[in-house]
Every structure is written in C-alpha cells, then in structure tokens.
C-alpha cells in the first residue's frame, strides 16, 4: 500500500465502535488527507510511505470536535460578569436589555474582518488543544445583514486556519430591540427573510434555536424548524437549559441532529431523543459559569441509550470557555461522566451531533486524517488535569 504519511509506534484510541477502541502498538497511514489504515501494527498491510513519523509510543486520538460554539461575536461581557458577582442573575441582566442583546450591539458594530480578528485568538486556543473540527453559530446579529456577516466570518475562519468549520444559523437566539417585544413578528422575519438569504448564500450547514422563557416558545421554534425543513437543513436546539419547555421532544420530532444543554430534561424528553437518535450535547462550561444547580440527568440518558457529546459552548455570556480539555474535566467532575464518555463526547459523538461522523470523529479508513498526538501515559490524563495542555502535535487532513 502506498501512502503520503505514516505515524508509527503509536498507542491509539481510535474511538471506533462503542468504546475507546484502544490499540497498544498501532499506526495510522494517510493518503490525500484521508486515513487509509488505522489499527494494530501487527494487522497492518505492508505500507510504503513517503514520510514516516515516529510517535515514540505517544497516544493518538481523533482530532477533537467542538460541536457547539458561539465563538464569533463583538466585544465581551466582563462587565456583566461583575454585575453577576454583585448579585444580579443571568436572566435579570437579559431582561434589563443586557445579555445577548448587548453582544448583538457590539456584533452589529463590527466589520466582518473585525469579527474574524477577534475570534481567531479564541479559535487558536482550541486549535492548540487539538481541535480539528469546529461548529460556529450565528445569533448575535439578529438581523439579516449582521447574521450573514457573522456566518461569513465563521466560514472565513475555516479558510485562514487548518480547521473544518461547520456553520449553524441561530437567528432565533434572542429578540432584537427593534422588534419591540413582538416575538412572532421577529420569528416571521427569521423564517421568511433571514433563513432564505442565508441558505441562498450557502452560509449555513444547520439551523438552531433557543427554546426558553427568555427566548422563544416551542410554537415559535416549530415555525423555524418547518422553514429549515423546507430548505432541506437539519436542525438542533438549545433546550431545557434554564427550565423545561419540552424542547427536547420538539427537537426529536424534527429529527434534530442534537438537543443541547438539557439541564432540566425529564424522562419523556430523554425517551424522545433516544427514539430519534438525537445526540444530547452537554455543556458543563455554561452550567458552571451561570452557577446552575440542576444537573442534566446523565443516568436517564445512559439508561435510554442516548449518545452524549460535550462541547465548550464558547460564548461571551454563559461560557467564556475555550478549552475542550477543561470541558471534559467539568463533564466528569460536575456531571459524573466517565473518562470514556468524555473522550467520545469530544470526538465520535460530537461528530455525530454535527452530522459528519462519516468524515471525522474516529480513526477509521476513509475518514479525514485528523489526529491529536498527546504526551500522556493514559487517556484518563486528558480528562483529569485542569489547565494543562499535553498536546504534542496536531494533524488536519493528513498535515
């Protein structure tokens, strides 16, 4: 077998199948950016590589996948953080015209270039930890021009960095002030104006919404989902974050890729996700940062066989986090996820949540050769440490 590049003397966590897919003495071979073999050295075909890299026994995992971020935005919300430290709640600040709307103002005021420039240091922090696929949502523009600007900035990030970017249109994130409290009228604009423009420009890979008391009702979200379906786009949903409006069941009814947050999900919601094969994306950074106390019911998710992903939710208001390693530690410490669940949650299950499991998320022949190579003795170290980055090297599409 001829290939461009071969990584030998590696310990692999392929994540293929259900578990970690551990291989003690393994190798990965890539050709034209795709994996042609990943597995035990003893089972490998004879390979003739242009370049061979000796991993010296290091661990190799799939490149990490951050499947839920709002990483493109203007300004920051350090001031609101101070208000919260003085006793104000997230919901109080949002209702007083701060929160998402304050980031909307800064996002509208920024140029596309400025949005890219301010996001890149955050994106680079993720890249430095081995992230090779990144989902980026809009939702801080809240009018057609600013939503499109944000999504163009997101696409641009995938052009200027060695990284696969998946974009998600989140027009139904919050009500902009010019809507004067009329949520139904705004949702009509999202469906009839913003979404068609975004789709026409090829700027969205999926559609998301925020189903919550401070955001939109299930009925309003359903209109967005209908519009997405008509355009042939898959949906996902911010559901059950601060209360239970039965968003998970709604998402499942629309065959959603994922339902995200889920702190307040009940068994009916969990069953619906299981039946639809919708991935539960848990966001411990947001849980931690808003000092939520109601935990997502991981036991119910396990019991019903719902796949669990973990993401940073990187955003200025509820999760100013740019570390999937720390998200894993929080998933384990706060939600009691196992090491295997955490590692699968930022690789295989995150890829499933983005609908790109055929291309990334595990080390298997045919997928992009996206690798993270780690200076660790055992995979649990990736979950166990806090604020320490053991990445040795990162490979995106074979390079």
Site string for Fe ion, 230-269 (x = CB under 5 A): ----------------------------------------
Pair type for strands 164-172 and 206-209: parallel
The runs of H, that is alpha helices, within 231-369 are 247-253, 267-276, 284-289, 298-303, 324-335, 339-345, 348-353
Residue 238, interface with ligand DI6 (CB under 6 A)? yes
318: nearest Cα among 338, 341, 298, 292: 292
From the list 97-105, 122-130, 144-152, 160-168, the region that binds ligand DI6 by CB under 6 A is 97-105
From the list 17-25, 45-53, 315-323, 375-383, the region that binds ligand DI6 by CB under 6 A is 315-323
Pair type for strands 308-310 and 371-374: unpaired
From the list 32-40, 179-187, 316-324, 349-357, the region that binds ligand DI6 by CB under 6 A is 316-324
Query: Residue 232 is encoded by which pair of tokens?
Result: 């042939």
Pair type for strands 22-31 and 2-13: antiparallel
Positions in 26-85 near ligand DI6 (CB under 6 A): 70
Site string for ligand DI6, 122-151 (x = CB under 6 A): ------------------------------
Minimum distance from residue 232 beta carbon to ligand DI6 (Å): 24
Return the DSSP state at 208: E
Query: Residue 243 is encoded by which pair of tokens?
Result: 């209360």
The answer to whether 372 touches 130, Cβ cutoff 8 Å, is: yes
- The torsion angles phi and psi of 387, rounded to 5 degrees, stand at 75, 20
CA distances from 214 to 74, 91, 92, 93, 284 (A): 21, 7, 10, 11, 20
Residue 135, interface with Fe ion (CB under 5 A)? no
What's the CA gap between 385 and 287, in Å, rounded?
A: 19
- Exposure of 175 by Cβ count < 10 A (0-12 exposed, 13-18 middle, 19+ buried)? buried
From the list 16-24, 28-36, 95-103, 180-188, the region that binds ligand DI6 by CB under 6 A is 95-103
Count CA within 13 A, CB hemisphere, residue 37.
23
Query: Residue 279 is encoded by which pair of tokens?
Result: 């991935």
From the list 33-41, 248-256, 314-322, 336-344, the region that binds ligand DI6 by CB under 6 A is 314-322
Site string for Fe ion, 290-329 (x = CB under 5 A): -----------------------x----------------
The answer to whether 313 touches 70, Cβ cutoff 8 Å, is: yes
Minimum distance from residue 258 beta carbon to ligand DI6 (Å): 13
Q: Is the Cβ of residue 13 or residue 211 nearer to ligand DI6 in the bound state? A: 211
Positions in 247-266 near ligand DI6 (CB under 6 A): none
Residue 147, interface with Fe ion (CB under 5 A)? no
Residue nearest to ligand DI6 (CB): 317
Among 99, 345, 390, 398, binds ligand DI6 (CB under 6 A): 99
DSSP states of 51-81: EEEE-TT-EEEEPEEE-------SS--HHHH
Positions in 283-312 near ligand DI6 (CB under 6 A): 286
Q: Is the Cβ of residue 67 or residue 363 nearer to ligand DI6 in the bound state? A: 67
Question: Number of residues in contact with Fe ion, rule: CB under 5 A?
Answer: 1
User: Which residues on adjacent β-strands are paired with residue 5?
Assistant: 30, 51
Q: Where are the beta strands (DSSP E) in 336-384?
A: 371-374
Q: Is the Cβ of residue 15 or residue 211 nearer to ligand DI6 in the bound state? A: 211
Q: Is the Cβ of residue 14 or residue 103 nearer to ligand DI6 in the bound state? A: 103
Among 176, 285, 316, 379, binds ligand DI6 (CB under 6 A): 316
Residue 212, interface with Fe ion (CB under 5 A)? no
Return the DSSP state at 190: I
Binding region for ligand DI6 (CB under 6 A): 70, 99-100, 103, 173, 210, 238, 241, 286, 313, 315-318
């Amino acid at each position: 077998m001829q290939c461009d590049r071969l990584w030998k003397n590696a310990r692999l966590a392929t994540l293929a199948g259900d578990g970690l897919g551990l291989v003690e003495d393994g190798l990965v071979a890539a050709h034209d950016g795709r994996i042609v073999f990943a597995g035990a050295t003893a089972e490998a075909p004879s390979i003739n590589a242009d370049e061979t890299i000796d991993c010296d026994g290091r661990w190799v995992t799939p490149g990490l996948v951050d499947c839920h971020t709002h990483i493109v935005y203007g300004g920051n919300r350090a001031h609101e953080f101070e208000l919260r430290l003085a006793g104000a709640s997230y919901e109080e600040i949002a209702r007083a015209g701060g929160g998402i709307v304050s980031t909307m103002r800064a996002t509208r005021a920024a140029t596309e270039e400025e949005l890219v420039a301010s996001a890149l240091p955050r994106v680079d922090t993720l890249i430095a930890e081995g992230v090779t696929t990144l989902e980026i949502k809009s939702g801080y523009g809240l009018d057609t021009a600013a939503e499109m600007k944000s999504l163009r900035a997101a696409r641009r990030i995938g052009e200027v960095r060695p990284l696969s970017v998946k974009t998600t249109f989140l027009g139904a994130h919050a009500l902009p002030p010019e809507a004067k409290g009329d949520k139904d009228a705004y949702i009509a604009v999202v469906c009839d104006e913003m979404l068609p423009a975004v789709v026409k420009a090829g700027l969205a890979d999926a559609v998301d919404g925020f189903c919550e008391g401070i955001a939109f009702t299930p009925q309003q979200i359903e209109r967005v989902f209908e519009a997405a379906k008509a355009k042939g786009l898959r949906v996902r949903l911010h559901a059950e974050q601060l209360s239970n409006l039965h968003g998970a069941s709604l998402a499942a009814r629309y065959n959603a890729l994922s339902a995200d947050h889920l702190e307040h999900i009940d068994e009916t919601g969990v069953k619906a996700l299981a039946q639809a094969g919708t991935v539960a994306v848990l966001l411990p950074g947001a849980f931690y940062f808003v000092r939520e106390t109601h935990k997502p019911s991981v036991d119910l998710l396990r019991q019903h066989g719902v796949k669990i992903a973990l993401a940073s939710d990187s955003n200025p208001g509820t999760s100013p986090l740019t570390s999937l390693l720390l998200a894993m530690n929080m998933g384990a410490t706060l939600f009691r996820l196992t090491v295997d669940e955490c590692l699968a949650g930022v690789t295989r299950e995150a890829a499933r949540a983005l609908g790109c499991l055929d291309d990334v998320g595990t080390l298997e022949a045919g997928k992009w050769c996206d690798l993270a190579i780690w200076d660790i003795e055992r995979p649990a170290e990736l979950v166990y440490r806090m604020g320490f980055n053991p990445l040795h090297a990162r490979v995106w599409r074979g390079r």
